[in-house]
Structure 1
């Protein structure tokens, strides 16, 4: 693959560091001229050019047990020291990713009662770049990584992709207590028979 094909394959319209995979795009509103390209390359080599992350829009609603992560949110969500994280990096066209999806959804369902302690996430790695603070790049799909609470180090998962194996891995690597809190009988009764609050229409 020549340089032009490489740039096209990775959506690069400017400079890209092939070690960190950070992208430094050209201003697409301006014509590509030799002087502008030379200035851009000079700024890149001098460390004056800021990288730009590709990111899908931040979802307005997160109503599923799997957290839909985008590049813009990566550091905020993944590096929340109070939570363990298990993330799937996938590509929409990947057959193995499609096969894993039902199991991954079931994994999210399994841990739904401990969402305040654990994030089960997915990130489309073809549409979202990783920030410079991450020391790895994604080269195969799906890639599964765990990040324990209070740590910024990632642990690769390379085991069997059965629901039982994934659950065991999460419990072994998690720093938080992932045992759901049991509600007292009177709390459950109150939740079941709670009257509608004032100010809301009743059917």
Structure 2
């Protein structure tokens, strides 16, 4: 290997490990003593073989770089539950990987329920330290607060104690993980804003535009619910910047334009397209929600609409209506085509996009193959009970289940029960089936297919048989209600 190649590899190795060094690796011998030294810490309990842990680690390390320099700092810790940290993991009731918990001064404060990407972890944990609303004492401090992050901010201006101030601080406590809050009682700050008892939402400067005001004053009742509603309605504006750490905040019906959204390297180019979307959004204000997203950051989401690769600079546009049905703008993007598309989504004139494998040519098999296009026929609209497994082809637990499930299909092939499976990575999973891991199995009794029950039992053939025998709408021909095989009358 050439010398310069070795040099480059060394630099790469050092840069990777520099990030890892910001994450504290602890074990049973030092966990309690060191964790107690930190006012706030996020702890990841992991196993080296865990796929989700491997995916999280680089994001965790990247977040640690930022959080260790925060004021006040937040420590990010990891502990191996298979080796040096077995006892600590047991004491913390860790049953799955990765498990994340927030500690304050050495004691567990709460389960971490935030995003799993670096930006999301940073935002969530920054909200965990210090007061929920920052007190600003001067005009300069307020300006610094408003420009410190490229996010909307909510600021309360109070000349004296009031019901509005109490409700504002209560709201800040509830929304601290999603919204940046500040407040001031200082005369210079209040005079500058011209507000003596009020709340103002400030949109970040990079999102300022001619279609909406950059600041909005709260005019509702002096209670926390009214303030929360005001923030939720106005926080992202007519066309919000939808990112991986805030995507859950955008509600249906929603139209999203994907393109090269980059407010660091190309803010002018980003706003060129966003302004055109704003023009359309203004026309539908209150009827549809709009957002822009980076096509590179959301390629996995674009795949769900059949968009494998997005060429060119123009936005591609998708939508979900109030029923969560999916739609794609098929015409080239323009203000005119987006306007027509938005109206058609609102009026229910479009054919929804359905991600689906082809319907099997022959489905006369013990374990039926469900795809999105035959799901209603096979699962919902038939007159039989259904046990359906949602799987992923790469899932080890799913592969282990295959022979068991095939045997179950054989045992149930003459019963009034359908045993089915569906590749949830290649097909849209319809509501109300909620699939967040693999395999996920549901029992759908006939006559109540709109309320399937998640199967939580064992994974052996006898476990499935006993469950089906007990819950079947009609007693099985081959098994009693306890799952015992009935005697074959031809042999008597």
TM-score normalised per structure 2: 0.33
Q: Which residue of 2 aligns with 1:169?
A: 467
Query: Quick check: which has more Rg, 1 or 2?
Result: 2
Is the Cα–Cα contact under 8 Å of residues 321 and 345 in structure 2 kept in the other structure?
no
Change (3 A) 1:40 1:99: same
CA 1:16–1:168: 2 relative to 1, 3 Å:
farther
Q: 1:138 is matched with which residue?
A: 435
Structural mapping, 1:1-203, within 5 Å: 2=244, 3=293, 4=295, 7-10=298-301, 11=303, 12=305, 13=307, 14-17=317-320, 21-27=324-330, 30-114=331-415, 117-131=416-430, 134-152=431-449, 153-180=451-478
Q: Hey, what's the Cα distance between the residues in 2 that align with 1:62 and 1:158?
A: 27
Measured at CA, do residues 95 and 17 of structure 1 come closer, stay the same or move farther in structure 2, by a change above 3 Å?
farther
Structure with greater strand percent? 2
In structure 1, the residue corresponding to 2:414 is in which secondary structure? helix
Unaligned runs of 5+ in 2: 1-242, 245-292, 308-316, 479-485
Equivalence for 1:201: none
Match of 1:188 in 2: none
What is the CA–CA distance in structure 1 between the aligned matches of 2:321 and 2:435, rounded to whole Å? Answer: 13
Q: What SS is found at the alignment partner of 1:102?
A: helix
For residues 427 and 320 of structure 2, the distance between their equivalents in structure 1, rounded to whole angstroms, comes to: 16
Cα 1:18–1:171 shift into 2, 3 Å: farther
**Contact 1:84–1:176, Cα closer than 8 Å, also in 2:** no
1:47-95 deviation per Cα after TM superposition (whole angstroms, max 9, x unaligned): 4444221221111112421001111111112123520100001111222
Q: State the SS of the aligned residue for 1:98.
A: helix
**Number of aligned pairs?**
179
Contact 2:383 2:446 in 1 (8 A): yes
Larger relative CO (CA 8 A, sep 6+): 1 or 2? Answer: 1
Moved more, 86-95 or 173-182: 173-182
Give the direction of change, closer, same or farther, for the CA distance of 1:113–1:74 in structure 2 (3 Å limit): same
**SS of the counterpart of 2:399?**
helix
- Look up the SS of the partner of 1:108 in the other structure: helix
- Equivalent in the alignment of 2:180: none
1:33-52 superposed Cα distances (whole Å, 9 cap, x missing partner): 44323432343244444422
User: What secondary structure, in the 3-state scheme, does the structure 2 residue paired with 1:24 have?
Assistant: strand
**In 2, distance between residues paired with 1:137 and 1:18?**
19
> Does 173-182 or 61-70 show the bigger shift?
173-182
Gaps of at least 5 residues in structure 1 are 186-203
- 1:125-144 superposed Cα distances (whole Å, 9 cap, x missing partner): 1221244xx32342221110
